[in-house]
Structure 1
Amino acid sequence: MARPSAYVKFVTLWALLGAVKLWLAASLDLFGDEAFYAWEARHPAWAYSDLPAGTAWLAWLGMELGGPTPLGLRWPFLLMGAAIPWLLARIAARWFGAEAGWRAGILCLLMPLTGTLGVLALPDVPLTFATLLCLDAIAALLRGRERGAYALLAAGLVLGALSHYRFVVVLAAGLVGLLLVAEGRALLRRPALWGVLALGAAAWLPLGAWNLAHRGAGVGFQLVDRHPWAFHWDGAWFPLVQAVVVTPLLFVLLLWALVQVWRRWRRGEAGPWGLVLGAAGVPLLGLFVLGFFADAERVSFHWPLPAWLALMAVLPALGDGARSWSWSWSWRAAHGLAAAGLLATFVWLAAAAMPTWRSPLADRPLYPDNFSGWRELAVAVAHELDRLSPSTQVVADNFMPAAALAFHLRRRDIGVLDHPKNHKHGRAAQLALWGYVRDSLRKRPAPVLLVLEDGAVRPRELVDWYRQVCVLAGPLPPPVTVAVDDGRKRFLLFRLPAGAVPADAPCVTPALGAIDRPGQRVPRGDALVFEGWTMKDGAGVRRVEVLLGGEPVAEAMLGLPRPDVVDFWRGSTDPAQPDLGFRAELPAGSLAPGRYRLALRVHGGDGSVEVVGARWLRVD
């Protein structure tokens, strides 16, 4: 029986993955940044503080035609993501024939970065789509096929300018690629090309005008604020991170392809080698060097994706020229590893979409934090609003819960505090421009429901943030706690009545606490001794219960000295300090072997009851 052609394999795989992506796009709750883009879509503009307008416009189009649902938001991005493998196959086919094109398309479908592209409404989707439009158009022009190529290039340049500041890297790479080949240098002398480039440049004007009108806030964040611009060794992780996200063997083969492209260009061989060398080599080398000086806190593993796609277009043809047993083995193994990586990524996304799958990840680094809790928070806030005055205002501490609530509750009037996270992600200027930032809540003409995301700042900074909230809002009453995934993610809802807060009102913060002992695993049959600490500034702790699986199993003895806690949380106003420690004990044999969710129920001196310090305990 004849083996299926590469075309049949490509179409079958594309359809199968498309169905999975459609289900995920409909099932996943919004990623935190997606919610903000949806918020921007409700405020149409030519540019925003974090991005050009393209992502918000696509989100607006999606929700206008598909409704204000996750799938409604995502379907334009889903379509673009589905088109990207076809575009890559077309580019490779233009250079090396249809069979090589379909094989390149299969690689594009299997690599996790591109195989999942479009599931989320993120700017990398139009950015990648625009990059391939430009590469396809340039490839056609270099072969003398001008019909439609200039229009295609113009569309790619405009879409890229509207997608992200990072499209500048694509432009620089493309220019270098053209300069490396004689046909490219000849193309740069054609007036028609410069007319198209002028149109592409005009697409940047709204972003430039926005920055001029707002003191360069967007450019300042992208180029200055988010980068330390001082040497650090984090850039050394770049190859390892790329090997993981591209999948190891495919990463090695693509680097091998880059070396082969360079050699063929040096020998002056006919082919797309100079263009690919610029399109792939410039971003990879530039981003590798940049990694030693630039932002190491935010996610950037996806930045080199356009470079990998350019190399993917030539890899099958290069492999055909290096036919050997080792190449055949490497080719098959690369497909297998890429497929395994893609499957693992889909499983992780499916776990993020289903609480029963997501909850077991609560104490693991793979926990999908940015997908978690928004629906549960929206339900809890809606429930509270039903019990409060219709004039109640909702104020969230940072842009992520605010944007999620604006999406799920269909509200435009969600206020936001001046949170460090707003500045970290470049959203502070936009929130201020919309008038959503609340500088003070001490004089409240109407009741306020204040929403705090417990894990939005580093643990060491949490008490300081709570104190800042006290300065802004006055004493915080006992909160309603929204615990998601066994407490891994926690939101605190505070009902603040209308009226003015006295200037001398004491600062009362939410409770904090942790269980230091036992560790994560204990042997069956031993007595269980629980030791840790709790604190609540301004009110103190009256009582602490140890919870297993949500049920109280022991009452803690309070008042044990914990000078280390006082030293760590400097400036605490808990009246019991430095005696913030506790101890509780369960008799030997109380627990059967298994995995238990361990937590503390803290009763504050102000009458509040809060669950803190949740983590897992395994009894062997």
Structure 2
Amino acid sequence: MLWLSLLALKAAVAARLPLFVDEAFYWQEGQHPAAAYSDLPGLTAWLTRLGVELGGAQAWALRLPFLAIAALVPLLLVRMTAREFGARAGWVAGCFGLLLPLAGTLGLLALPDAMMALATLLCLDAGARLLREVDARAAVELAAGLALGALSHYRFIAVIAVGGVALLCLPQGRRALRDVRVLVAAAIGASAWAPLVAWNMDNADAGLRFQLVDRHPWAFHIDGLWFVVVQALLVTPPLFAALALGAWRGARAANPAARYFALSGALIVLGFFVLGFFADTERVSFHWPLPGYLALLPLLPGVLAAWPRWARGLAAALAGAAVLAVLGYYVAVSVPSLRARSAGEKWYPSNFAGWDELAGRVQRRLRELPPGTRVLADNFKIGAELGFALGDARIEVLDHPINHKHGRAPQLRLWRLERDRRIDTVAGPALLVVGATEVEYKHLLQRYHDLCAMLGPLPPPQALNVDHGRQRFLLFALDGRARQGPCTTPAMAWVDAPLAGARVGREFEVAGWAFKDGIGLARVEVLLDGKPVAQAQYGRELPGVRGFWRISNDPQHPRVGFAARVRLDAQAPGRHWLGLRLHGRDGSIEDWAEQPIELAPR
């Protein structure tokens, strides 16, 4: 019942959840069939292709194969645990495999983790069988697990290494590793890495270098200490403590299977803990230890059996609440009004947000432009998301830092979809879509100047502010002709007062600065909830702005400051959104991103 209920709930959420950027890129890879890609082996992309072939270009269809694979994980966990420790232990382990938040939400997104989890359990199950007796069935299962893992992700190397060490630590494991059937299974698993090895050999080890070198600082940093805190919260503290205790007891047990599970799970989790002091901290990595927790779950029933009933109930309740909380987060991401309320928070889900709105705006804009106008994306995220929405896997992408940061630049170049800095014109009319919030604000003006270097002075943009501008896109209509003159960019602005989240009265002052390179601004309006409430005095002298933005060529520097007195009357107290409308001297109009303020009662 738990399995069916959670599967139904995940399917309902998956049908509503906007496409995550990595899912969109895996879809794009699936539309370009290959044995391997720059960021991953081929299996994830093949599964996305299977999903859309079965169900059409829908997010739920894309995720369907991953939901099905994830549904097998707790069932295999039940079978494996029951064989080693009894039927009751099997059902308990399976239930907690559903309640473990990292495992219970597998398959909700079209990511490689679902297949990695299944491959891990296949290898673990085969290893436990081999400790009892080496037979063809266990060897075939091991070969299947090793091959599926190799086709899923580079990280599966950790599972292979730890599993091998765990077997070598046990006499029964060393005996099994000498058997020719196990060696053949290992050879089959090793052969599954051939496409990835071949891709790296053909592309100067670009994928391997990104995964093992470029994305990691490989210098000690204290952030690794957060690992225990983050993992305890994700797994839930009682369950984390129970798994740790299970690893401790299992490593000292007489049962070879218990020792095997304990060593496998503990070494994986501890390995990623140590790696956390030297590895990448910018990208999401909290899910990396999941294979270790899956290995420890068969030991969990034995630990819980010694706990009082209230403690077992508390562990299950907290784990279940955590799974529901994660699913609730995805539901909130799916509801535009709820997502918009989080625009001022650090946890705003930018990688889920704005893509439907952007696709709609691009489609409307294309209908207004000459026939044959192509879409040109600023970065791989926009290219993949628009590609999925528009059914076009060949949208060209500009050279962008995040293409390299996420290891997607080599693949885009292989597809001949990346335009580099040497190209300064666009052949034929094009609609350039720029993600203004994809780079840090302090680097945004440099990004605009980089666009000028590639395309010439930029025409007036059409701005799309999603969720009060937390996700901000700019659309430029390019006619294909070379543009001459100084670099003309979108406007830049900042509100110095009031601060974001500040409490204000019915009358307050708004002050800040704004400029527009190449052209300059004519005037600045102050908006509240998207409606003009004051005309600012523009042109105050602020030499510090030019001192910070040294490359700015706005002809009005240093007179780029503004100030306005806002008087409100009928607005209700509470949260409102303060924004700016920037009028360029070329007639362009851009609404700037908004920030929250709290309006006091009368």
TM bracket, shorter-chain basis? over 0.9
The residue number in structure 1 matching 2:21 is: 32
Deviation by residue 1:373-425 (Cα, 9 ceiling, x = unmatched): 11111111111111222222211111001001111101133110110000000
Of residues 342, 359, 363 in structure 2, which corresponds to 1:382?
363
Deviation at 1:549, TM superposition (A): 1.0
Contact 2:247 2:263 in 1 (8 A): no
Please tell me whether residue 172 in structure 1 is matched to residue 161 in structure 2: yes
Post-superposition offset of 1:145: 6.9
Taking the aligned partners of 2:572 and 2:427, their CA distance within structure 1 comes to 55
Distance in 2 of aligned mates of 1:557 and 1:39: 48
Aligned to 2:419: 438
CA distance in 2, matches of 1:83, 1:357: 33
Secondary structure, aligned partner of 1:558: strand
8 Å CA contact 1:158, 1:199 repeated in 2: yes
User: 8 Å contact 1:561–1:579 — kept in the other structure?
Assistant: yes
Aligned partners of 1:516, 1:258: CA distance in 2, in Å?
54
CA distance 1:521–1:492, change in 2 (3 Å): closer
Is the deviation greater in 269-278 or in 463-472?
A: 269-278
**Are positions 1:306 and 2:272 aligned together?**
no
Cα deviations across residues 117-148 of structure 1 (Å, max 9, x unaligned)?
A: 10100011111111111111222222227363
* Distance in structure 1 (CA, Å) of the matches to 2:508 and 2:349: 31
For residues 479-518 of structure 1, give each alpha carbon's deviation from its aligned partner in whole angstroms, at most 9, with x where no partner exists: 111221222111100001122233xx21011112122211
**Among 98, 101, 106, the residue aligned to 1:112:** 101
The AA in structure 2 aligned to 1:393 is R
Residue aligned with 1:455, SS: coil
Residue 482 of structure 1 contacts residue 492 of structure 1 at CA under 8 Å; is this kept in 2?
yes
- Answer whether contact 2:55 2:61 (CA < 8 A) is retained: yes
Among 468, 471, 483, the alignment partner of 1:501 is 483
In the alignment, the residues of structure 2 paired with residue 433 and residue 506 of structure 1 have an alpha-carbon distance, to the nearest angstrom, of 33
Q: Does 1:82 align with 2:71?
A: yes
Change (3 A) 1:235 1:393: same
CA contact (8 A) 2:458 2:489 kept: yes
- Residue 400 of structure 2 is aligned to residue 419 of structure 1: yes
Q: Which residue of 1 aligns with 2:265?
A: 280
Structure-to-structure mapping, 1:291-370, within 5 angstroms: 291-320=276-305, 323-325=306-308, 328-370=309-351
Q: Supply the AA of the counterpart residue of 2:574.
A: G
Take 1:18 and 1:551, find their aligned partners in 2: how far apart are those partners?
Answer: 45
The residue correspondences of 1:240-279 to structure 2 (distance < 5 A) are 240-264=229-253, 269-279=254-264
| Corresponding position of 2:533 | 553
Amino acid paired to 2:511: E
1:409 aligns with 2:380: no
Counterpart selection for 1:228 from 199, 213, 217: 217
Q: What amino acid is the match of 2:364?
A: H
Q: Secondary structure at the match of 2:594?
A: strand
* Secondary structure, aligned partner of 1:599: strand
Give the C-alpha shift of residue 366 in structure 1: 2.3
1:91-138 CA distance string (max 9 Å, x none): 211211111111111111112211111010001111111111111122
Q: Distance in 2 between matches of 1:104 and 1:160?
A: 22
2: distance between equivalents of 1:468 and 1:243? 43
Which residues in structure 2 correspond to 1:36-75 (within 5 Å)?
A: 36-75=25-64
Q: Which residue number in structure 1 is paired with residue 374 of structure 2?
A: 393
Aligned residues: 599
1:478 is displaced (CA, Å) by: 1.0
Q: Which residue pairs with 1:474 in the alignment?
A: 456
CA distance in 2, matches of 1:64, 1:72: 8
Which stretch shifts more, 557-566 or 340-349?
557-566
Q: Please tell me whether residue 455 in structure 1 is matched to residue 413 in structure 2.
A: no
Does 1:184 find its partner at 2:180?
no
Cα RMSD for the two superposed structures: 1.6
- 1:7 aligns to what? none
| CA distance in structure 1 between the aligned counterparts of 2:350 and 2:194, rounded to whole angstroms | 36
* 2:573 matched residue in structure 1: 593
Shift in Å, 1:590:
6.1
**Partners of 2:285 and 2:545 in 1: CA distance:** 35
1:137 aligned to 110, 116, 126, which one?
Answer: 126
List per-residue Cα deviations over 1:73-105 (Å, max 9, x = no partner): 110001011111111112211211111111111
CA distance in 2, matches of 1:272, 1:554: 73
Structure 1 SS opposite 2:419: coil
Q: Which amino acid aligns with 1:292?
A: F
Task: Tell me by how many angstroms 1:302 deviates.
Answer: 0.4
| 2: CA distance, partners of 1:483 / 1:171 | 46
- Larger deviation, residues 512-521 vs 340-349: 512-521
Q: Is the 2:246–2:262 Cα contact (8 Å) retained in structure 1?
A: no
Question: Against the structure 1 CA distance between its residues 300 and 522, is the aligned structure 2 distance closer, same or farther, given a 3 Å change threshold?
Answer: closer
Would you say the 8 A contact 2:501–2:595 is kept in 1?
Answer: no
Q: Which whole-Å deviations, capped at 9, do the CAs of 1:320-355 have from their partners, x for residues lacking one?
A: 2xx254xx3332222121112111111110011121
TM-superposed CA distance for 1:569, in Å, is 2.2
Contact kept in structure 2, 1:394 and 1:413, CA below 8 Å = no
**Aligned partner of 2:111 among 107, 122, 127:** 122
Distance in 2 between residues matched to 1:348 and 1:105, nearest whole Å: 24
Q: Which of 435-444 and 424-433 deviates more?
A: 435-444
Instruction: Tell me whether 582-591 or 441-450 shows the greater mean CA deviation.
Output: 582-591
Q: Normalization by structure 1: what TM-score?
A: 0.94
Q: Tell whether the 8 Å contact from 2:490 to 2:517 is kept in structure 1 after alignment.
A: yes
1:254 & 1:576 partners in 2: Cα distance?
Answer: 64
- Partner letter of residue 590 of structure 2? E
**Aligned partners of 2:351, 2:399: CA distance in 1, in Å?**
20
Does the CA contact (< 8 Å) of 1:442 and 1:501 recur in 2?
A: no
Please say if residues 101 and 322 of structure 2, whose CA atoms lie closer than 8 Å, have aligned partners that are also in contact: yes
1:5 counterpart residue number: none
Stretch moving more, 41-50 or 519-528: 519-528
What 5-or-longer segments of structure 1 have no aligned partner?
A: 1-11
Q: Secondary structure at the match of 2:39?
A: coil
Measure, in 1, the Cα distance between the counterparts of 2:526 and 2:238: 49
Q: What whole-Å deviation, never above 9, does each CA across 1:139-162 have from its counterpart, x for those lacking one?
A: 222222736322222111111000
Q: Judge conservation of contact 2:245–2:303 (CA < 8 Å) in 1.
A: no
> CA shift at 1:223, angstroms?
0.6
How far the C-alpha of 1:444 sits from its partner, in A, is 2.9
8 A Cα contact 1:29 1:372, kept in partner: yes
Q: Which amino acid aligns with 1:611?
A: D
For 1:76 and 1:536, the matched residues in 2 are separated by 48
**Partner Cα distance (1:523, 1:45) in 2:** 56
Moved more, 464-473 or 389-398: 389-398
Structure 1 residue 290, shift from structure 2 partner: 1.2
3-state secondary structure, aligned to 2:376: strand
Aligned with residue 151 of structure 2, among 147, 162, 165? 162
Q: Mind listing any 5+ residue stretches in structure 2 that lack a counterpart? A: none
SS of corresponding position for 1:499: coil
Q: Aligned partners of 2:394, 2:107: CA distance in 1, in Å?
A: 29
1:14-33 equivalence runs, <5 A: 14-33=3-22
Given that 1:218 and 1:426 are in contact with CA atoms closer than 8 Å, whether structure 2 keeps it comes out as yes
* Identity across matched positions, percent: 50
Partners of 2:195 and 2:2 in 1: CA distance:
40
Q: In structure 2, give the amino acid aligned to 1:457.
A: V
Distance 1:91 1:516 in 2: 61
Note closer, same or farther for the CA distance 1:563–1:336 as it changes in structure 2 (3 Å cut).
farther
